[in-house]
Amino acid sequence: MLQRELTTVEICAGAGGQSLGLELAGFKHVAAIDIDRDCCQTLRANRAGWHVIEADLAEIDGRPWSGVDLLAGGVPCPPFSIAGKQLGKLDERDLFPQALRLIEEIGPRAIVLENVRGFATPRFAPYRRQIGTVLDRLGYEVRWTVLNALDFGVPQYRPRFVLVGLRPEDAQCFSWPANGRPPLTVGESIADLMGARSWPGLETWKERARGFAPTIVGGSKKHGGPDLGPTRARQEWRKLGVEGKSIAESAPDPDFPADGLPRLTVRMVARVQSFPDDWYFVGTKTSSYKQVGNAFPPPVAMVIGLSIRAALGRSQDGPRQLSLVSKSPSHR
C-alpha cells in the first residue's frame, strides 16, 4: 500500500508520455508546464484535474512549489555545435539553465531529466560536467545512463539519455531499473489498427513486420510535415512493410493493394510509443504526430519513476498495469 502519493512538477511536459509514466509510478502532478499550446491542450484533454501551465520556462517562478518530491522533464538539448560553452550563454533553445534555476528555487528531493542519446557522447562531456557541478553545489548526487525503450516493452529502438539527481541519503538507495518484459513486434503491436478497415493484405504484412521500429522522431525539420524520419529510418520502416514518407489519415481499406506499403496513422505511431489508445492528442495531424514523436514512452518513464520512488523509501509497491486499451499559474 502506498504511504502517500508523491508530488512532481514537470517541465517541458509535451504530450504527456513522461507524465503518464510518472502517474503510473504513483506521482501526483502539482504542475505540468509546456510552451506549446497543442501539448497543453492535450494534457488538459486527458487529465482535466492537472494544473497545466502554458508558458515559457523563463516566466516560471518555482518557489511556490518548494519541497515537491520530484522535478522531471524532457529538457531540449543544446545544439551539438555549441556544446561546451558556459551555462547561461548557450543557444536560446537550450533550457538546461532554466531547469537548473527551477531546481534551485524548488529544491525537490529528486530530479529526472531525459534527453536524446547524443547528449551522452564525449562531445557533450564538458557540458555534462558543468551541469553536474551546479547540481553538486545544490546538494544532489548525479547519475546518468542511456536506457533503450526496447528493453522495457516498447516495440521501438529508442535509446534516451536519462539524468537522475538525488540527495546523498537517497542516492545510496537508488538503482537503475532492470530490463522488463520483451516487447511485441511492430506487426503484433498494431495489427488490429492496421486491419481496422478490412485490408486484405493484413496477414502478409503482419509477418513482414516481425521486427522493431526505428526511433520515431517528431517530424522532419526541413519540411515541417509528419514523416517517419530521415532516409535511413524510412528504409528501416520499408523493411517492416511501412511507407514512411508521410502519415495516413486512416488504415488501408479493402481496395489498397494486398502487397502494397501502407502508411501509419497517428494512432498507430502512438501505439508504437506505448501510449494507451484512449490518450487523445489535440491539434492537426502534423501537430499530433509531432507530439507523439517527441514523447518519452510511458513504460520507460514509469520504471524510472518507480526506481526513484524506491530510493526515496516511500513504497515497495510494484507498477500499476499500463493498459493500451484504454492552483493558478505561477509566473515570474
Report how far residue 110's alpha carbon sits from residue 8's, in angstroms, rounded to the nearest whole number.
9
- Total Cβ atoms within 10 A of residue 216: 26
Cα torsion 198, 203, 204, 206 to 10°: value is: 110
Cα 103 to Cα 98: distance, rounded to the nearest angstrom: 9
- Give the C-alpha distances (Å, rounded to integers) separating 326 from 15, 185, 279: 17, 20, 8
Q: Helix/strand/coil (H, E, C) string of 31-69?
A: EEEECCHHHHHHHHHHCCCCCEEECCHHHECCHHHCCCC
Pairwise CA distance, residues 52 & 31, whole Å: 6
For residue 156, what are the β-bridge partners? 213
**Cβ-proximal residues to 206 (8 Å cutoff; 6+ apart), any chain:** 187, 188, 191, 194
CA 75 to chain centre: 10
Cell of 273: 510509443
CA dihedral sign, ordered 10, 16, 19, 23: positive
CB 115 within 8 A of CB 93: no
Active site residues: 77
What are the φ/ψ torsions at residue 186 (nearest 5 degrees)? -60, -45
Cβ neighbors of 89 (< 8 A, separation 6 or more) are none
SS3 of 213, please?
strand
